[in-house]
Chains A and B, each alone.
Chain A
């Protein structure tokens, strides 16, 4: 019998899901048009993520331990259930590809300039794939270590950046472009919507009363962490920082000085961050691959797992430059996010109808 996860494990997994590679660049996107108001759009986006989390939780509760897509097949017309499942899977897959592509891009453009991109993504995916293949219990064990790294990173950034922080650079909070604000809110919502992975994690978690609260608090904590970091970046680099920098965390790490002499510690920072990326990506791969296995109604074999990893590696290499990544991000925001939201709402609607029918 599969080992069940505790509420602590659930908290760890959700907290790390909200720190994948995409979340590295989110502050840049959020503040580009909005300045400090971008932080508000990030918090609102996290709020939307919270609603999706509640929706996913309720849906998972109704499924009562069954694989979620199997449950959808029972309550919805078969073709509609398949389309819904595909919409959710494509959202997960593209999110995973984006996270990996952003991370690979950062590594190859900033840190490992001489190392071929295919090798960076290959090694990354091999290790993540191996971890994901071991199962959710091992992923959680590793994630716990990554969560400690994350807390250490947060401390390093705050202490390292505070000497250069000036509140007047982060103020005033002005909403200049309403349309851009809404766009950013939707983009951040899109990122936080990844908490729908709960649909695939929850069946493995012990049924306890406060599961939802634990998952929600992990999301809130992640959103607060990202907002604090962004506010810190505003106070250090000014409200126009996203015009001049893309990898905010990396620039923040560059100015960390440990004691009077130990400087240029961004490599240490990135190594620690890598553990966070490993954990977040392995959770994503686990959910993406298992969801596909549910769609095709076959157990996830080792061969299928590695075949999918190979597919993600190919996609990651195809997105060989920032232009292509941004293009995919555009499609992701405009099409796949809405398809996933539509699918999720439809599933919830059918689940509600099913409950009413069974009550009658």
Chain B
């Protein structure tokens, strides 16, 4: 059994034994391990700015040892102030005994002060560090961003990912409806320099609602827009997958038809080069989900006529929504629809003739809507 002792142990075996013994110590765990219950995981970061002073508010998840899941009790809100976001985060770090872990952050709330002064200032530090993911969501806040987190912490008891889920739900219905850190960074380098950031408001201090947003150009807030404007933005930049469209007085006064947008897409075309006319061709597939008007028709011709009336009204309605949004953007000379970027990508020679950031307001935009109604709530006798 111990025959190797008789044969003698070679230098090679001794070296291997020493190495194995050393490895045993290392294999018990990482020296830079970070225990889950020793971390303060940042879920949301709010950045505000007052007179050259940044304020950060962090919504932390601080799981306790032995807990099986994360509950509302684990939520903690801390804040810090400083001349930069880095300094403010450093100060916030002083008020928690746990290591602040920014890697899992999902959402950044930017207050009006940051938006009005320098959007990038709100997260430049984070982009240079390795914490930030470009797929993090960004929301604009009219007023103090920190208030959204701090004013109603009990919302977290319902769902700690309340805001994130609110955005994700919107994205489920309308593709490209969210704004990511990546979009803001892209806008900073794009031809248009503009980006739309959805806004969230705190209603009566107990309800958080997505409502309108901020138009930002060259990292500065241009104006706030309402929910109606965002509708036009979704028709042009998003792909609507599920959204109701209510049409009043379709056939006669008092009639109402509710159509659900199943699919939408906007194609851009250069209709004329000199002077430039850009066409926005919107195609939508609609389902009739409610009908408080014509239910029965005599023949196919009448059915076709009734349907045509609905289609025309739907197209007029969508056109009006989109035109209103475009007009507003042009009046602010803020191309949040990214038309300039599209022109630079596909019609470079045409784009070269314009200083898009100055000339956008004067460009003629033509909206054309084509709809297809897939299912009807009208019967043929």
* One of A171, A172, A237, A254 near B133 (C-beta < 8 A): A254
**Which of chain B's residues has its CB closest to A167's CB?**
B345
Cα distance A239–B190 when bound, in Å?
9
What residue of chain A has the Cβ atom nearest to residue B348's Cβ? A172
Our pick among A109, A168, A244, A251 for the contact of B341 (Cβ within 8 Å) is A168
Contacts of A168 in B (CB 8 A): 338, 341-342, 344-346
Q: List 22 A-B residue pairs with CB atoms under 8 Å apart, sorted by A's residue number.
A: A114-B31, A114-B32, A115-B31, A168-B344, A168-B345, A169-B186, A169-B345, A170-B345, A172-B344, A172-B345, A236-B182, A237-B134, A237-B182, A238-B189, A238-B190, A243-B189, A244-B185, A255-B133, A255-B135, A255-B182, A257-B135, A264-B103
Asked whether B205 is an interface residue with its Cβ less than 8 Å from the other chain, the reply is no
- A174–B134 Cα gap in the complex (Å)? 26
Which residues of chain A have a CB within 8 Å of any CB of chain B? 109-110, 112, 114-115, 164, 167-172, 174, 236-240, 243-244, 251, 254-255, 257, 263-264
Q: Which of A109, A171, A254 contacts B345 (CB 8 A)?
A: A171
Chain B residues touching A, range: 20 to 34
Q: Does B180 touch A at the CB level, under 8 Å?
A: yes
Task: Give CA–CA (A170, B186) in the complex, Å.
Answer: 11
- The distance from the CB of A253 to the nearest CB of chain B, in whole angstroms, is 10
* Contact present for B186 and A164 (CB under 8 Å): no
Given A164-B135, A168-B345, A169-B345, 10 other A-B residues pairs in contact with their CB atoms under 8 A: A168-B341, A171-B344, A172-B344, A237-B134, A238-B186, A240-B189, A244-B185, A255-B135, A255-B182, A264-B103
Q: Residue B127 at the A interface, CB < 8 A? A: yes
A243–B120 CA distance with the chains assembled, in angstroms: 15
> In the complex the two chains form, what is the Cα distance from A170 to B190 in whole Å?
11
Looking at the complex, which one of A112, A172, A174 makes contact with B32 (CB distance below 8 Å)? A112
Q: How near does chain B come to A221, taking the closest CB pair, in angstroms?
A: 28
Contacts of A243 in B (CB 8 A): 189
How many A-B residue pairs have C-beta atoms within 8 angstroms? Tell me.
58
Question: Which listed residue, A110, A172, A255, touches B130 by the CB 8 Å rule?
Answer: A110
Task: Indicate whether B104 reaches chain A with its CB closer than 8 angstroms.
Answer: yes
What residues of A have a CB within 8 angstroms of the CB of B345 in the complex?
A: 167-172
Binding site for A on B (CB under 8 A): 31-32, 103-104, 127, 130, 133-135, 180, 182, 185-186, 189-190, 338, 341-342, 344-346, 348
Would B344 and A164 count as touching, CB distance under 8 A? no
Name the CB-closest residue of A to B346: A171
Partner of A237 from the list B103, B130, B186, B338 (CB cut-off 8 Å) is: B186
Residues of chain A lying within 8 A (CB to CB) of residue B185: 237-238, 244
Give the distance in Å from the alpha carbon of A251 to the alpha carbon of B128 in the complex: 12
Q: Flag if B134 contacts A115 (CB, 8 Å).
A: no
Which chain A residues border B182 with CB–CB below 8 Å? 164, 236-237, 255
List of A residues within 8 angstroms of B344 by Cβ: 168, 171-172
Instruction: Name the residue on A nearest B185 (C-beta).
Output: A244
Chain A proximity of B174: nearest CB distance (Å)? 14
- A264–B104 alpha-carbon span in the complex (Å): 7
Nearest-Cβ distance from residue B378 to partner chain A, whole angstroms: 38
Give Cα distance in the complex from A171 to B104, angstroms: 32
On chain B, the residues within 8 Å of A240 by CB distance are: 189
Instruction: Give B190's nearest chain A residue, CB to CB.
Output: A238
**Residue of B whose beta carbon sits closest to that of A260:** B168
When distances are taken between beta carbons in the complex, the residues of chain B under 8 Å from A172 are: 344-346, 348
**Complex CA distance for A239 and B134, rounded to whole angstroms:** 15
Given contacts A114-B32, A238-B190, contact A244 B346 (CB under 8 A): no
In the complex the two chains form, what is the Cα distance from A161 to B342 in whole Å?
20
Cα separation A174 to B191 with both chains bound (whole Å): 15
Kindly list chain A residues whose C-beta atoms are within 8 Å of the C-beta of B180.
Answer: 164
Residues A255 and B134 in contact, CB atoms below 8 Å apart: yes
Q: Which chain A residues lie closer than 8 Å to B133 at the CB level?
A: 254-255, 263-264
Give Cα A264 to B346, complex, Å.
Answer: 34
**In the complex, chain B residues whose CB is within 8 Å of the CB of A238:** 185-186, 189-190
Taking the nearest CB of chain B, how far is it from the CB of A175, in angstroms? Answer: 12
- B146 to nearest A CB, angstroms? 25
CA distance A239 to B191 in the complex (A): 12
B-side contacts of A236, CB under 8 Å = 134, 182
CA distance A351 to B117 in the complex (A): 68
Residue from B104, B127, B190 whose CB has the most chain A CB atoms within 10 Å: B190
In the bound complex, residues from chain A placing their C-beta under 8 Å from that of B130 are 109-110
Tell me the complex Cα distance, A263–B182, Å: 16
Residues of B within 8 A of A239 (CB): 189
A172–B350 Cα gap in the complex (Å)? 12
Give the Cβ gap from A213 to chain B, nearest Cβ, in Å.
38
Q: Which residues of B contact A254 (CB under 8 A)?
A: 133-135
The distance in angstroms between the C-alpha atoms of A168 and B351, with both chains bound, is 13
A239 to B344, CA, bound (A): 12
Closest chain B residue to A160 by CB distance? B135
| A-B pairs, 4 with minimum CB distance | A171-B345, A114-B32, A168-B345, A255-B135
Q: How far is A171 from B341 in the complex, measured between Cα atoms in Å?
A: 9
Report Cα–Cα, A172/B346, bound state, in Å: 7
Instruction: Out of B103, B104, B134, B189, name the residue touching A251 (CB < 8 Å).
Output: B134
The CA of A123 and the CA of B185, in the complex, are separated in Å by 37
Minimum CB–CB distance for A42 against chain B, Å: 20
B residues near A164, Cβ cutoff 8 Å:
134-135, 180, 182
Least CB separation from B134: chain A residue: A255
Say whether A174 contacts B348, CB under 8 Å.
yes
Query: What is the CA–CA distance of A164 and B137 in the complex, to the nearest angstrom?
Result: 13
Q: What is the bound-complex CA distance between A308 and B187, given in angstroms? A: 49
Closest beta carbon of chain A to B178's beta carbon, Å: 11
Bound complex: CA A151 to CA B117 (Å): 46
Contact indicator B32/A115 (Cβ below 8 Å): yes
Whole-angstrom distance between the Cβ of A290 and the nearest chain B Cβ: 24
Chain A proximity of B184: nearest CB distance (Å): 11
Residues of B within 8 A of A110 (CB): 130
A238-B185, A251-B134 known; A244 vs B127 contact (CB < 8 Å) = yes
